[in-house]
Structure 1
Amino acid sequence: MESKVTTTKNKKRTGLVALGLLLSLTTTVATAATDENTSGPAMWPTAEYAAGIPTAKEVLGYDLGERITSHGDTLKYFYALQQAAPKNIKVIEFGKTWEGRKLIYAVIGSAENLSRLEAFAADMNKLADPRKTSASEAKQLIAKLPSSVWLEHGVHGNEISSTDASMMTAYHLLAATNQPMVSNILQNTLVFIDPMQNPDGRMRFINQYYATVGMEHSADRLSAEHNEPWPRGRSNHYLFDMNRDWLAITQPETKARVRVLNKYKPTVVIDLHEMGGDSTYFFVPAAQPINPHMQKEQLDNNVAIGRNNAKYFDEFGFSYYTREVFDAFYPGYGDSWPTFYGASAATYEVASSRGERFEKLDGSMLNYRDTVQRHFVASMATAETTAVNREKILNDFYLYQQKAIAAGKDDDDERVFILPNELDRAATHRLATLMAEHGVEVKRASESFKACGTKYNEGAYIIDTAQPRGLFVKTTFTEQVDMDKAFVTEQERRRANKLNDQIYDVTGWSLPLMFNVDTDSCGRAVSVNGEMISADTPLQSELANGDAKVAYVVPWGDMSAGRFLTAALQAGIKVKSADLPFKMASGSYPAGTLIIEVANNPKDVADLVASIATTTGAKVVGVDTSWVEEGPSFGSENTVTISAPKIAMAWDEPTRSLSAGATRFVIERQFNYPVTAIRAGTMAWANLSDYQVIILPSGNYARHLGKGGAENLQDWVKKGGVLITIADATQWAASEAAGLLDVKREYALSKDGVKAAGDGDVVDGTSIKDKAGFLNAIENEQDMPDYVAGILTRVEVDQEHWLTAGVNPEVVAMVTGNDIYSPIKLASGKNVAWFKGKDDVMASGYIWDEFKTQAAYKPFLIHQPVGRGMVIGFTQEPAARAYLDGLNVMLMNTIFRAAGHAYPLR
């Protein structure tokens, strides 16, 4: 039970906290159970607080946990704390969101530790590299360095309580006067508080939530307060789940956060989340599977953290659980990414009130303040563990680096990864600079060299895994990271017994596969001259004959050419594209190659081409003759004019926000081309003739478009429009009601065994001989294939279709869900890309044998001509999480080359 002690305070506010304990003699103390920062019982019942540190009530006008704090108020409070205790807290702005909101973090510690913040960063980076820092030097550093904990809050904007908990944590650390744990934390640990990882999503949630509140807050889960409208507050401006962005680092919030973590390398990182309101609280240890490249010492530290959390949760009477649901396998979460620089990291989840009040299924009331308090208590317990185990955690951090380097040296097969940088310059450069952004050492060779018997040209990128980030390289570059065998066996047992599997997220994430980049490996160190690249190293353009008399040709097949195209179109340059490969005196060029004819363009076309080449890194060749030795000439019917299409995308309900956001982001921020978002319902009746391309992201459009909407789109396509459907949108387009695409989804393959038969209320009699027969008897007659959590698959690409110009013969796609489609018949269209055969379809991850059998040779990309236009269907997401860079050229073709092949009515 929480005690009921009256709180008092002095009107005269003087004195600052030194180490969170020492107060000036003129400062009185605020005591316990109805503390300055909360309504009702205290968040830490025994705490006494210094009057010199402002409460949230004094700064914001309300107690923490009383209402959901906005982005502006959060910043206001942290800056007020800094003004009151500048020697113990420092607030640092480190970036901005897409919508221009500030990102801040606060650092709290003793005056001595905080004054050495920059020196601390330098020392941590020394400790992070045993190649430069000997064991004896490391011992000296560990003796003087504080440990550090980074508390991440609110990566999902509608998981609201952690931000308010961050303010309570900061207040408690600065103002609590009778807490030995606070003194210990301040003396031995730097506490980094990132109060709001996703300000744009949080403010979307807050604005929508308070707009629904009436006379009183409703606790009913059916109320509008507890049912967010599309796209909800979980994601950021571009509707990204930023907890999945740590691998591709596409969003500005993630980019800024990665820079800061790489600077300080905090030794403990906690990502505070919310889950369903009927649950309790989750903390470490994590569930299986665990990424095999994580180290025992890190996992042991998590157990110690969990034990201390449990101690305080027992004291406070809070329920909790561990080792269930939330695993530590995928390396691209906010709690898993830091483990690969050596931190001990974890996810915490609290039952969410998703507002100020929520009635649980058992009839109990969950108040917002309750969720804030639980995160606050867990944060303090974690910080205490970090302080108590300061020396061990720092030693383990140094040991991690040693193990990473040793693992690289001991690998006789994949010590070094080499990116030849010849087939896809842009994707290879993007992958190399991405790894540098992660903190990996990447060298670009300045000369040709040999490695393991193979010769490589100047410009190849080299990553030696015998480096501190070597284990991160191994987990992101190897094609397959296996889950624990016992876990896999258990999943197969569950499936055999008709139970859902326990795989939480994707099981395949090899970056070279997703980027479709050639990568070689060598078991020996490579000695070659070169330079270390950074995240900002530009892709160098290649411009030959910049004063061409006849034309400029841009070889198609990578995103430097893609961005050249979009920039040229927006600059008003007239561009053609070849459907087939061709050969000239200047070289051979692949299908899709862009052709900019001097005579058909402005007089300053040479300057425009040179400028665009520089900004995009494209390879451009000027030619003084149009004579083609092989393949189509510039004036052939096998070249098409690419105009600047107007693109519309379905938005709002019923689109899946992650699909809509990722697709729009890839087009706008990776292709650099604008998209107009149109509410899906509007497409049912609107005149769409202004648009040449319409994209339907994944979603169930049956109700929002209906028969009228399908007819409106079909009429628009017949008149020359290009309709692109993605994942579930393809499912709708293929339905009888829509009739836009002549393919059908498949039920799961039937299995041998006894099944009930017959019609009506009576079925034929059956005999069941064993449990296997029983399990077969209870199967539905027509089931969909089992759900796939997320795997990487190999896709074969038709090399003789104009839609795949410049696309490699084989690409890698991600498969999620259970949609498998029968191939389209030749009378209706073409299967332009399809999954490879059973024995070859898997590229990375873990999947059921039945999927391999049924998915083999089924379509991934479908093209169906309709009148003067066409429908193009992706059966899976080509832009998932914006990290399938290897599919970008294919996606560009479906937009720009498809628009060039349509014949809209003029």
Structure 2
Amino acid sequence: MKNLSFFILCLIPLFSLAQKPIDLNYYLPQDINYDENISTPQEVLGYIPGEWHVTHDLLLSYMRTLAEESPRITLETRGNTYEGRPLILLTITSPENHSNLEQIRQDHLKLTRENSSNLNTASMPIVVNQGFSIHGNEASGSNAALLAAYYLAAGQGPKIDELLENTIILFDPSFNPDGLQRFAYWANTNRSHNLNPDPQDREFSEVWPGGRTNHYWFDMNRDWLPAQLPESRARIETFHKWHPNILTDHHEMGSNSSFFFQPGIPSRTHPLTPQMNQDLTKEIGTYHAAALDKIGSLYYTEEDYDDFYYGKGSTFPDINGSIGILFEQGSSRGHVQETNNGLLTFPFTIRNQFTTALSTLEAAVGMREKILNFQREFYANARKSTGKGAYVFGNSKDPATAWHLADILRRQQIEVHEVAGDFESNGKNYKKGAAYIVPKNQRQHRLVEAMFEKRTSFQDSLFYDISAWTFPLAFNLDFQEEVNIRNAGERIEEPAKPTVTAPARSEYAYLMEWHNYYAPKALNMILEKDLRATVAMQPFAEGDKAYDYGTILIPVQNQELNSDEIFELLKTVAEETGVEINAVTTGLTSGITLGSNKFRPLEPQKVAMIVGDGITPYDAGEIWHLFDQRYDMKITKLDTRNFNRADLSSYTAIILPNSWGGALGKSEADKLKTWVRNGGTLIGYKNAANWFKSNEFMKMELKKNEIKAENVTFEQARDFRGAQGIGGAIFQAKQDRSHPVNFGYKDDKIALFRDTTIFIEADSTSYNNPLQYTGNPLLSGYISKPNLELIANTVPFKKTNLGSGQVILFTDNTNFRAFWFGTNKLLMNAIFFGEHM
């Protein structure tokens, strides 16, 4: 009670201070001096941090100013966000270290290499990567970065000298520039002169999608492992360039919380993370505790969050021989807010983040040699545990998808080889140019194991994030965990994107198989030029070449373009997409002939997606990104606020992503029904199942988990309920390859990512179940026993006719986090072939 009273007393004076400029001394330690020749934050911003939310442009300006003024700081730009904002990195250390920085880096990297035992860690600097506000609306981190950078640039005295001599600081003031800018705009434009702490004020309720995410509405703190976004790729490159010993990730949580630092819940640590990692994390935590005690701030540790999914900033370092540390500050979400702990001010949240940024550096200096030795031992032990064989993955029909996985592995500094030549193993064909070998005996063995493992047993049944992410399954690739290393060919540094030979010229027709990942992009390019194209509903053969379900036929005659123009267009399509297009000179094929009615006509697609209040931004953003970045297709975003005023008549397909609450009401349902009856294709995801059923778009029987809590205490109730969710696991489904939703897939099984408990009974008519879970579908991840029994033989896909149109439902996310390449085509099949299902 005494500590809580002190905490509240600390907060109340700040409320009055927040209405006028606060003193910089509120933040800065007073046990050192500060160089007057270094600009303070307010001299560049025009205000002291905490008075307003810093916009990214001003944050950038201040960091550039410090780099110009201080010999301790260099600044580099590593790329740009989707909105064109620079992705900067400050390297902060002593001027002496700067003069020898490359040699220090090379020596540091030797800790992760073979024969590192002769390195003298007693004389080596420690490397700390400090990152702030990967969620843009968790802004206290980036605002604290202003103060931390000033402290490191301007601080004077033996304490600072020791820190800079013994530490290389890789300083990223904003992991998410686009989100930070979006949130700062919101918080600042809704700030009153007389600050209003009422939680119901508009200042604390951002408009959709909020500032948490990047441009395409991705949670970037889930992208450290797949690295599909430019911000992620920049920070991953920095990580592997230096292999920092500590990486910090400054976040915010609910306003009624205090302050959290890792370790998280011990039972939820991934088994591949060494115990020493957690021990060192806990020891570092004693420095945070001492620093927060000193300023009277409450905190907690080991009661929340976890170190399981390696795609987060606090866990990615753990599988790379480093120590990741998550900080979570109770959020003011604006400038001051009423909370259970009293008035929580923005300056107070900044001070806690700043304080723990400094305590991290204090711990790094105090534990320097111990942490450096841990990194060396991590890689030495990893080499001892490697096997002599290799992994192999590939897709003989789709080299593009295999290439994308190889590209991810190389970004993570994993050794990858071409296959030496075509070979067959366990009934799967691995072809040169479409398959890759990953040796087990390599430095990044533990990271490879983490990315490729299939795990179905767990110490705990609760997860802060997903419980499975097996990359070969995510990419729908043929995969073996053990092949002879003699199958490995040349080691590749940067996988060459697959290319194809331009098609020969034809006066008759061209054929394009649907297997390649980029086939939808190619078809869209063709249809956008008003070329007639059809899709094969059955397999056939032309000469020695077999063509599968879904093959696209482009006839030459009776087109708007002449034969020369068609040839030039298709040559461009093949070059830009890497999709093979073959010229044919006869329609007399084996099986169905090219003039058969089994070739169904295709139309140019104009697609819209419903976004806005009630729609899950992540799911919508994944679809937007897929269309815009992968397939170069336009997609119109229809906001729920204006939906009733929208003219839907020109759209061929409308996508309803996962939603919550009342995103769409009865009037919107009636409007969509009319549009579908007139020939539209409505595609819904996940919770759209309940909306479709309640609004009579389709009939379905749902299975429910009716488990009762027996011998469960009140204390255990939350965990009991949580264990019945599916936080993210991988399941196997059977595919009817003759159904258009499965065109382009060469096998009769597919791995689906699922994070819902929507279980739909299979239809009594077998051909209405083109995707159906197997009787024992779990491939990787956690699912409770009752849910595993429920999911068996249910269907993740359902389609029904409504008037002249159709309604299509996916219970699972086919576009998960932009790295679930293997199921993207299910959506594109629904778009292009929906009317033929």
Q: 1:570 Cα deviation (Å)?
A: 3.2
Distance change (3 Å), C-alpha of 1:869 and 1:324: same
Secondary structure class of the residue paired with 1:57: helix
Partner of 2:83: 99
Secondary structure class of the residue paired with 2:147: helix
Alignment partners' CA distance in 1, 2:257 and 2:181: 25
Partner of 1:17: none
Q: 1:74 Cα deviation (Å)?
A: 0.5
Q: Give unpaired runs (5+ residues) of structure 1.
A: 3-35, 492-501, 754-770
Partner of 1:760: none
* Deviation sequence 1:804-851 (CA, Å, 0-9, x none): 222342111222132222345659x933312221xx211111111111
Secondary structure class of the residue paired with 1:888: helix
Partner of 1:128: 112
Partner of 1:729: 688
Secondary structure class of the residue paired with 1:788: coil
Residue type of the alignment partner of 1:820: F
Equivalent of residue 287 in structure 1, options 249, 265, 284: 265
Partner of 1:350: 329
* Deviation sequence 1:345-403 (CA, Å, 0-9, x none): 121111111111111124x1111111111111111111122123323322222222222
Equivalent of residue 310 in structure 1, options 289, 292, 295: 289
Partner of 1:719: 678
C-alpha contact (below 8 Å) 2:421/2:487 kept by paired residues = no
Partner of 1:254: 232
Alignment partners' CA distance in 1, 2:765 and 2:430: 43
Alignment partners' CA distance in 1, 2:97 and 2:344: 39
Secondary structure class of the residue paired with 2:171: strand
Alignment partners' CA distance in 1, 2:30 and 2:831: 61
Matched, 1:863 2:799: yes
Q: 1:300 Cα deviation (Å)?
A: 2.8
Q: What's the TM-score once normalised by structure 1's chain length?
A: 0.85
Secondary structure class of the residue paired with 2:83: coil
Residue type of the alignment partner of 2:576: T
C-alpha contact (below 8 Å) 2:137/2:211 kept by paired residues = yes
Secondary structure class of the residue paired with 1:90: strand
Structure 2 matches for 1:367-378, cutoff 5 A? Answer: 367-378=345-356
Q: 1:656 Cα deviation (Å)?
A: 1.0
Q: Which moved more, 1:865-874 or 1:336-345?
A: 336-345
Partner of 1:815: 754
Equivalent of residue 662 in structure 1, options 602, 614, 622: 622
Alignment partners' CA distance in 2, 1:246 and 1:574: 42
Partner of 1:69: 54
Q: 1:149 Cα deviation (Å)?
A: 0.4
Alignment partners' CA distance in 2, 1:309 and 1:528: 48
* Deviation sequence 1:407-460 (CA, Å, 0-9, x none): 213x7xxx4101244143222111111111121111113435688999854343
Equivalent of residue 702 in structure 2, options 735, 745, 750: 745
C-alpha contact (below 8 Å) 1:575/1:594 kept by paired residues = yes
C-alpha contact (below 8 Å) 2:707/2:786 kept by paired residues = no
Partner of 1:478: 453
C-alpha contact (below 8 Å) 1:785/1:851 kept by paired residues = no
Matched, 1:213 2:191: yes
Alignment partners' CA distance in 2, 1:665 and 1:457: 30
C-alpha contact (below 8 Å) 1:734/1:744 kept by paired residues = no
Partner of 1:691: 651
Matched, 1:555 2:493: no
Alignment partners' CA distance in 1, 2:145 and 2:801: 56
Partner of 1:5: none
Partner of 1:582: 540
* Deviation sequence 1:461-513 (CA, Å, 0-9, x none): 11012212111110111222743x3xx3xx4xxxxxxxxxx421111110111
Equivalent of residue 551 in structure 2, options 589, 593, 596: 593
C-alpha contact (below 8 Å) 2:609/2:656 kept by paired residues = yes
Residue type of the alignment partner of 1:431: L
Partner of 2:16: none
Q: 1:329 Cα deviation (Å)?
A: 0.5
Partner of 1:620: 581
Q: Which moved more, 1:555-564 or 1:372-381?
A: 555-564
Secondary structure class of the residue paired with 2:486: coil
Matched, 1:160 2:139: yes
Partner of 1:608: 569
Alignment partners' CA distance in 1, 2:601 and 2:366: 69
C-alpha contact (below 8 Å) 2:22/2:51 kept by paired residues = no
TM-align CA RMSD: 2.7
* Deviation sequence 1:38-58 (CA, Å, 0-9, x none): 456343243432212111112
Equivalent of residue 92 in structure 2, options 88, 108, 114: 108
Alignment partners' CA distance in 2, 1:609 and 1:733: 40
Distance change (3 Å), C-alpha of 1:146 and 1:395: same
Distance change (3 Å), C-alpha of 1:893 and 1:452: closer
Matched, 1:388 2:363: no
Alignment partners' CA distance in 1, 2:589 and 2:640: 46
* Deviation sequence 1:533-588 (CA, Å, 0-9, x none): 426x2112255x52234222111123132332223233444322111111221411
Aligned residues: 809
Distance change (3 Å), C-alpha of 1:348 and 1:604: same
Q: 1:175 Cα deviation (Å)?
A: 1.6
Alignment partners' CA distance in 2, 1:571 and 1:472: 45
Q: Which has the higher contact order (CA 8 A, sep 6+)?
A: 2
Matched, 1:567 2:525: yes
Residue type of the alignment partner of 1:699: S
Q: Which moved more, 1:422-431 or 1:576-585?
A: 422-431
Matched, 1:79 2:36: no
Residue type of the alignment partner of 2:168: L
Residue type of the alignment partner of 2:519: A
Structure whose CA Rg is larger: 1
Q: What's the TM-score once normalised by structure 2's chain length?
A: 0.91
Distance change (3 Å), C-alpha of 1:699 and 1:453: closer
Secondary structure class of the residue paired with 2:151: helix
Equivalent of residue 470 in structure 2, options 502, 510, 530: 510
Q: 1:685 Cα deviation (Å)?
A: 4.6
* Deviation sequence 1:758-791 (CA, Å, 0-9, x none): xxxxxxxxxxxxx65999xx99xxx999322111
Q: Which moved more, 1:661-670 or 1:559-568?
A: 559-568
Residue type of the alignment partner of 1:532: I
Q: Give unpaired runs (5+ residues) of structure 2.
A: 1-5, 8-20
Structure 2 matches for 1:520-531, cutoff 5 A? Answer: 520-522=480-482, 525-526=485-486, 528-531=488-491
Matched, 1:800 2:738: yes
Equivalent of residue 787 in structure 1, options 694, 718, 725: 725
Alignment partners' CA distance in 2, 1:586 and 1:857: 38
Alignment partners' CA distance in 2, 1:633 and 1:593: 12
Alignment partners' CA distance in 2, 1:120 and 1:613: 47
* Deviation sequence 1:576-618 (CA, Å, 0-9, x none): 2111111221411110011122223432222222222122221
Distance change (3 Å), C-alpha of 1:880 and 1:420: closer
Alignment partners' CA distance in 2, 1:431 and 1:558: 14
Partner of 2:770: 832
Secondary structure class of the residue paired with 1:607: helix
Partner of 1:431: 405
Secondary structure class of the residue paired with 1:135: coil
Partner of 1:878: 814
Q: Identical aligned pairs, as a percentage?
A: 28
* Deviation sequence 1:124-171 (CA, Å, 0-9, x none): 3343321xx5532xx15x455321100111100000001111111111
C-alpha contact (below 8 Å) 2:52/2:335 kept by paired residues = yes
Partner of 1:649: 609
Equivalent of residue 680 in structure 1, options 640, 657, 665: 640
Residue type of the alignment partner of 2:308: F
